[in-house]
């Protein structure tokens, strides 16, 4: 198993980012054997559909070219024009077959790794012409696999060729005794059989090569644990830096939120450390946190509330729960609805009551704060 300089083994599958980066560089799995089989299939299809017609068209074209007028022989322009016409007509006859082969060229890569065009692969790389790098490639697993594939192809194709030569030798020799049109038809029939057998033979090699190329590609891109951690750090950012940025953002949000303290309906506090300003509108599902603060920020929120006659309600467990489980601009959690509702109801009653009635009113206690929202010291 290959190891990094750090001594860590590449035992983890490649991450989506690593696969994407490799693809951007043009590094995708490829199988030459699959490409060869698909090209032969396209050739066989082309010969079956266009072979006989194409050969007859070329015969007629050749016969026409040999029918030369005496005046054309002594004309330089006539010879050039005749040659250009012959070239264009020959290309036109072979165009369908060439188009079929052109399409076949792209099918193999699309089946393996998709179509990729990476300009980075066109850049000059000194390692590609480095003899030492070439020697390392010659003794690797990939080189050994290529050698085994080459031997397999030689054995299989050689064996099939010998068998075909023995079976169809008389048929090929008999072509010389047939009329031209019949010989053409018979030749294409024999070639079709030969193509099928050769394709089946190379197909066996491709069936071995395709899984091996995928496995080799996945193995090459495997990652160490350190590489995975480094990639996560690059994608998500350094946790310490993110925590500091989040702290600064929260501090900035809290400072901005002081502007909304005068609009709050109640400030729920722990008298010494926490302050949470809540605002509730009838068109809202639940009250919204418009400001919250700890220590000096909590004191500043209470001072602003006092300056603008915003009610302040002391409920330490509820204040701590709201501070830890809400963010500025968010509605309160559903688990705290009942406790906050009791506080808002009391504050509204106090606001509408007379001074004498206010002295007789008892603020709610033992507010229903779930245990999961409480600090250990609250339990």
CATH number of the domain within which 356 lies: 3.40.1690.10
Final residue of a domain: which of 215, 232, 249?
232
135 and 20, same structural domain?
yes
Beta bridge partners, 274, equal 270, 294
Domain limit, last residue, from 232, 249, 281: 232
Task: Look at residue 269 and tell me if it is in a domain.
Answer: yes
CA atoms within a 13 Å half-sphere pointing along the CA-CB vector of 292: 24
How far apart CA 324 and CA 315 sit, in angstroms, is 14
Q: Is the pLDDT of residue 263 over 50?
A: yes
pLDDT in tens, 127-172: 555 566 555 555 666 677 777 877 887 888 888 888 888 888 888 8
Same-domain check for residues 354 and 310: yes
Residues 204 and 308 in one domain: no
Together in a domain, 154 and 202: yes
Q: Domain range spanning residue 58?
A: 16-232
The residue-averaged pLDDT of 226-231 equals 79
pLDDT given for residue 310 in this prediction:
87
Average pLDDT of 262-269? 87
Judgement on whether residues 208 and 276 belong to the same structural domain of the protein: no
Check residues 1 and 227 and name the one with the higher pLDDT. Answer: 227
Residues 306, 198, single domain; the answer is no
What per-residue string of b and e applies to 254-263 under the rule 16 or more CB within 10 Å gives b?
A: beebbebbee
Residue at 4 is within a domain: no
Whether 253 is covered by a domain: the verdict is: no
Shared-domain flag, residues 224 and 264: no
Write down the pTM of the prediction.
0.46
Task: Convert the pLDDT of each residue in 43-88 to its tens digit.
Answer: 878 777 776 677 777 777 777 777 766 666 666 677 677 778 778 8
34's CB contacts (< 8 A; 6+ apart) are 108, 111, 112, 206, 209, 210
The 10s digit of each residue's pLDDT in 270-290 is 877 888 988 888 777 788 888
- 229 has pLDDT over 50: yes
Domain-embedded: residue 282 = yes
103 falls within a domain: yes
Mean of per-residue pLDDT scores for the chain: 77
Total domains present in the chain = 2
Question: Do residues 109 and 39 lie in contact, with contact meaning Cβ atoms separated by under 8 Å?
Answer: no
Lowest mean pLDDT among 187-191, 259-263, 374-378: 374-378
- pLDDT tens column, 171-195: 888 888 888 778 877 887 887 788 7
Same-domain check for residues 113 and 210: yes
Confidence of residue 379 (pLDDT cuts 50, 70, 90): very low
42 and 157 in a single domain? The answer is yes
Note the pLDDT of residue 134: 56
In a domain, 239, yes or no: no
Per the domain annotation, does 68 fall within a domain?
yes
- Same domain as 285, residue 200: no
Residue 242 lies in a domain: no
């Amino acid at each position: 198993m290959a190891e990094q300089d750090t001594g860590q083994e590449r035992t983890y599958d490649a991450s989506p980012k690593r696969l994407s980066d490799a693809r951007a560089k043009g590094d995708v799995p490829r199988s030459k054997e699959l490409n060869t089989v698909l090209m032969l299939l396209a050739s066989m299809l082309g010969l079956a559909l266009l072979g006989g017609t194409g050969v007859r068209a070329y015969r007629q074209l050749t016969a026409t070219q040999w029918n030369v007028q005496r005046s054309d022989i002594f004309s330089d322009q006539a010879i050039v024009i005749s040659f250009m016409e012959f070239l264009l007509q020959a290309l036109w006859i072979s165009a369908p077959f060439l188009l079929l082969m052109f399409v076949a060229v792209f099918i193999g890569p699309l089946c393996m790794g998709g179509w990729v065009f990476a300009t980075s692969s066109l850049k000059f790389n000194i390692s590609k012409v480095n003899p030492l790098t070439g020697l390392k490639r010659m003794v690797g697993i990939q080189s050994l696999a290529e050698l085994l594939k080459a031997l397999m192809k030689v054995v299989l194709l050689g064996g099939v060729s010998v068998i075909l030569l023995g079976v169809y030798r008389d048929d090929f020799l008999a072509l010389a005794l047939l009329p031209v049109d019949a010989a053409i038809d018979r030749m294409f029939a024999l070639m079709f059989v030969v193509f099928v057998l050769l394709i089946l033979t190379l197909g066996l090699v491709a069936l071995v090569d395709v899984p091996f190329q995928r496995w080799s590609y996945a193995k090459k891109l495997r990652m160490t644990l350190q590489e995975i951690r480094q990639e996560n750090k690059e994608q998500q950012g350094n946790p310490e830096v993110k925590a500091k940025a989040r702290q600064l953002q929260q501090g900035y949000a809290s400072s901005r939120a002081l502007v909304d303290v005068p609009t709050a309906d109640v400030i729920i506090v722990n008298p010494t450390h926490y302050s949470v300003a809540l605002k509730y509108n009838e068109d809202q599902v639940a009250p919204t946190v418009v400001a919250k603060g700890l220590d000096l920020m909590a004191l500043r929120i209470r001072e602003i509330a006092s300056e603008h006659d915003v009610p302040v309600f002391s409920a330490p467990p509820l204040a701590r729960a709201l501070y830890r489980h809400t963010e500025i601009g968010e509605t309160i959690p559903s688990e705290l609805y009942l406790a906050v509702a009791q506080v808002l109801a009391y504050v509204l009653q106090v606001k509408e009551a007379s001074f004498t009635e206010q002295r007789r009113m008892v603020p709610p206690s033992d507010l229903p704060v779930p245990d999961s929202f409480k600090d250990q010291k609250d339990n």
